[in-house]
Chains A and B, each alone.
Chain A
Amino acid sequence: MADITDSFAERIRAASPAKPLCIRGGGSKDFYGNALVGDLLDTRAHAGIVAYEPTELVITARCGTPLAEVEAALAVREQCLPFEPPSFGEPATLGGVVAAGLSGPRRGAVGSLRDFVLGVEVMDGESRRLTFGGQVMKNVAGFDVARLMAGSLGTLGLILEVSLKVLPRPVAEATLRFEMPQGKAIEAMNAWADKPLPIAATCWQDDVLTVRLAGARAAVAAARAKLGGEFIDQGAAFWEALRQHRCDFFASDDALPRLSVPSIAPPLDLPGEQIIEWGGSQRWWRGDVSVARKAASVAGGHAVLFRGGDKTAGVFQPLPAPLMAIHKRLKAAFDPRGVFNPGRLYPDF
């Protein structure tokens, strides 16, 4: 039976290092990573939810399936992708979401996208269809190549199909607000995380710490009583705007570094505004990425030039030589001719 993936295979066979492919879904994350290179390979024709059984907590869908379609199907059964991947626009596809590997506000509490990847089917650089992982929660047969695909920006293979673990939507939610300077907010986020409280997300900006509670009704009510603060009505809208970078902080086209640091890192020595999420672990700043990189490194983390700015110094923090060598060999293991998204992750491959 003719299948759209046969045409993908043909495109891959016809590609060469001089004529590489740019794998792309809806293009909602074209801004992310180094520059797009190569002839467009649009994944959107390979779409559709293949299997979804709420009692198995697993959904399997093809790469071109819109994220919105996946989330709508889950919502009908009161389930969700708890890592809240940002779509950054309507056209976002599931394949693109996995390849970008980004997670939203609840990441600090529930885990990241890669934590929820159970299996993938990919087409490698020799146009072979390979399946890794599966549809079950526990699976240690073979190396965890499925999770390796998360965040690989399409450099290792064309993701054809993905199986993700899903979770029930929290029964109850509440959003609280606290006036707090940065240092105190970082302390508070870490101190609360030390306690069995149903904290789902945190966000500090402009001396205000916003906290999202999610869980059983009784647990959320008890935590509200314990933490105090000001209850706000528009909680859901606030977190969705943060997830999709629709709040004012993210509006400009200036360089936007994302700093990933240990949660307890004290306020970083960076001038101007910041947004702090994930209990202190993710910090957004407007400024030069090399300055951000230095501050993040001192704190024991790393920085990404998430959006805008000058990409000539590389979008992602440079790797130590032994790790770069492993990266290049892994790239060659899946894409020996170097035809997939060259340079998108690192200019070296």
Chain B
Amino acid sequence: MPSRHHVAERDQDFSDVDRVALIAELVRQVPAANLLADPEDLKPYECDGLSAYRRLPLAVVLAENEAQVAAVLKTCHRLGVPVVARGSGTGLSAGVLPHEHGIVLSLAKMKRILHLDPVARVAVVEPGVRNLAISEAAAPHGLYYAPDPSSQIACSIGGNVAENAGGVHCLKYGLTVHNVLRVRGVTIEGEAIELGSHALDAPGYDLLALMIGSEGLLAVVTEVTVKLVPKPEVARVIMASFDDVQKAGDAVAAIIGSGIIPAGLEMMDQPATAAVEPFVKAGYDLNAEAILLCESDGTPEEVEEEITRMRAVLEGCGATGIRVSTDEAERLRFWAGRKAAFPAAGRISADYYCMDGTIPRKRLGDMLRAIAGMERKYGLRCINVFHAGDGNLHPLILYDANVPGELERTERFGAEILELSVKFGGTVTGEHGVGFEKLPGMCAQFDSAELSAFHRVKAAFDPAGLLNPGKAVPTLHRCAELGRMHVHAGELKFPDIERF
């Protein structure tokens, strides 16, 4: 294997990969039907949920078991070929954008629930199992898997591990990192490793925490043990209207300051409710500048007590209207609008670009005002939905890729939001991951010593730098280039990538 030094300095060059030799080796590792190499078969793998970035790999391998994963990784290690592991491809940061000189290793065929123990409250699943399928399998036992990203119908648990996926209930129930006990994976050398355990901890460094959210850069996930939790007996949601976004933001702080951790605490601004209401008829107050959805779950007694307390806090914060869901159907209707925000954006605009910054909650009002200013500056509309409880923002910038210059303006708009998130003491990505898309944001959030440390962490697992190279952590060279590009505003971020 060729040695590749200074991985942190610049992106590695893999142009010497021999496609013919690679495919000749791979056909010996997996059944012929599991190896795709014709361009038309590769097409569905050219992008993930962020379709602005597309690229074809040399081949796609559909692994059916851990032995095949190990064999393919060993082969790629020996030949020095980049490997991009992929689950359901619902990611929103181009994390599984293929490498032009590498393969995509799909885990989508590994979708068995291997073991579900209702007494121990764990499920052992293959990486391709869908997030929601776990909760469905656990439902007869009164249990479920707590993290619920919006894409939970489709997204896979392996992808959730790679991204440390969240959802609308993570303030109370945590992220993927809080709900996974153990990950089994295979290193690029083809060695199986187990991180965490079926006990609550494991000896040594907390490699499980490091693996979760590592975006496919450290090892390929082949098995996951998730925690299952008892389904709350009841859940009810309050929908509160506000005539001012700052007041809504203050109400969020007041609820948390009063000692309540709501099961969900979401905010939508007026343009967002206006976009979704015709679509889902959730009954949102369209005159409100912002609405909050505050959910309480638990025993009937607990929920009654919490709803009463939250209602009092919201009224004290100047809510202009309050409705409490009276039954499950109404609760789901209130949520339907929030969950349909992304498709609604797609319905009212040719294209939209979803941001994912997180800021301290107290800066919500400042951020909204700044975004309003940016809408004027860039001549683009933005609708705002937030996981307000944990300060995670999803501004959706609306644009039309067919109008010359709009995509570029959109990207500058997005970059400005992310830079402000960092300035407010937050982060460029709360739950969608860095992937390929947010590499520039990483240059703003971390200095070169920190980025170098990340590269050394990667090298501790993957010394050859073959797992998802060029993602999640920018090279110092790329940051330097971007720094220069800020001077020449208007140039594309990644001129080497085909764009749509």
Residues of A bordering B, CB below 8 Å: 53-58, 78, 101, 107-108, 111-112, 114-115, 124, 128-132, 134-145, 147-148, 150-152, 156, 167-169, 171, 190-191, 193-198, 215-219, 221-222, 260-264, 278, 281-282, 296, 300-302, 304, 316-320, 322-323, 326-327, 329-330, 332-334, 345-346
Contacts and interface: CB of A to CB of B under 8 A. Distances in A.
B450 interface: yes
Nearest to B187: A322
B191 A144 contact: no
Contacts of A221: 301
Contacts of B468: none
B206 A194 contact: no
Given A136-B359, A136-B390, A262-B198, A142 B204 contact: no
Contacts of B305: 216-219
B136 interface: no
A151 B305 CA distance: 38
A144 B142 contact: no
Q: Which one of A101, A139, A140, A334 has the highest number of Cβ atoms from chain B below 10 Å of its Cβ?
A: A140
B213 A143 contact: yes
Nearest to A215: B302
A281 B200 contact: yes
Contacts of A262: 120, 198-199
Contacts of A346: 204
Contact of B200 (A56, A138, A152, A278): A278
A24 to B, nearest CB: 20
Given A141-B429, A144-B210, A218-B305, A130 B187 contact: no
Q: Which one of B170, B203, B257, B306 has the highest number of Cβ atoms from chain A below 10 Å of its Cβ?
A: B203
Contacts of A197: 230
B434 interface: yes
A138 B298 contact: no
Interface string B435-458: 000100110011001100110111
Given A108-B200, A111-B178, A144-B214, 4 more contacts: A135-B425, A218-B299, A316-B203, A322-B193
B460 A329 contact: yes
A53 B253 CA distance: 10
A107 B206 CA distance: 16
A136 B218 CA distance: 24
A88 to B, nearest CB: 18
Q: Which one of A141, A142, A218 has the highest number of Cβ atoms from chain B below 10 Å of its Cβ?
A: A141
B226 to A, nearest CB: 14
A141 B461 contact: no
Interface string B352-388: 0000001111100000000000000000000000010
Nearest to A301: B199
A328 B382 CA distance: 48
A156 B214 CA distance: 19
Contact of B390 (A129, A137, A281, A296): A137
A138 B471 CA distance: 20
Contact of A56 (B121, B166, B360, B459): B360
A262 B254 CA distance: 39
A114 B174 contact: no
Contacts of B391: 136-138
B175 interface: yes
A111 B253 CA distance: 24
A78 to B, nearest CB: 6
B199 A141 contact: no
Interface of B: 117-121, 141-143, 163-164, 166, 170-171, 174-175, 177-178, 187, 191-195, 197-207, 209-210, 212-214, 217-218, 230-233, 253-254, 256-257, 259-261, 298-299, 301-302, 304-306, 358-362, 387, 390-392, 425-434, 438, 441-442, 445-446, 449-450, 453-454, 456-461, 463, 472-473
Nearest to B141: A194
Q: Which one of B141, B166, B199, B430 has the highest number of Cβ atoms from chain A below 10 Å of its Cβ?
A: B199
Contact of A55 (B214, B361, B450, B473): B361
A344 to B, nearest CB: 12
Contacts of B232: 196
23 contacts: A54-B257, A136-B358, A137-B392, A138-B358, A138-B392, A138-B427, A141-B427, A141-B446, A143-B214, A147-B206, A147-B210, A150-B206, A193-B230, A195-B142, A196-B233, A217-B305, A218-B302, A219-B298, A262-B199, A300-B197, A301-B197, A319-B203, A326-B207
B254 A130 contact: no
B233 A194 contact: no
A345 B204 CA distance: 7
B142 A151 contact: no
A301 B198 contact: yes
A156 B460 CA distance: 13
Contacts of A134: 425-427
A304 B202 CA distance: 10
Contacts of A301: 197-199
A193 B121 contact: yes
B430 A260 contact: no
A323 B204 contact: yes
A265 B231 CA distance: 24
Nearest to A303: B203
A141 to B, nearest CB: 5
Contacts of A304: 203
B434 A140 contact: yes
A333 B431 CA distance: 26
A196 B425 contact: no
A119 to B, nearest CB: 10
A136 B194 CA distance: 29
Contacts of B390: 136-138
B207 A323 contact: yes
A300 B143 contact: no
